[in-house]
Structure 1
Amino acid sequence: RRSGRGSIGPLAFLAVGWLVVTAALVPRSVPGVGAPLPPGTETTFVVVGLVVVVGALVSLFGVPSRARLPRPTATVAANVLLGLAVVALVVTEAGLFQTSMQAPPLKSALRVSVAETTAARWLEANSEPDDVVATNVHCRLKRTVPHCDARAFWVSALTQRRALLESWAYTASAHERHGVGGRAYSQQPFENPKLLALNEAAFRAPTTQNLAALESRGVRWLFADTQAGPVSAELSQRAELVHESGPVKIFRLR
Structure 2
Amino acid sequence: MEKYTIGEIEQQLFGKEEVNKEFLKTLKKDSRKGVQKLVLKWERQEEQKRQVHDQFVNMTSFERKYRSEGFEYIAGIDEAGRGPLAGPVVAGAVILPENFYLPGLNDSKKLTESKRDEYFEVIMSEALAFGVGMISAAEIDEINILQASKKAMLSAVDQLGITPDFLLIDAVKLDTPYPFEALIKGDSRSITIAAASVIAKVTRDRLMKELSIEFPHYGFGANKGYGTAEHFRAIKEHGVTNHHRKTFAPVREYI
TM, length-normalised to structure 2: 0.33
Higher relative contact order (CA 8 A, sep 6+): 2
Between structure 1 and structure 2, the one with the greater Rg is 1
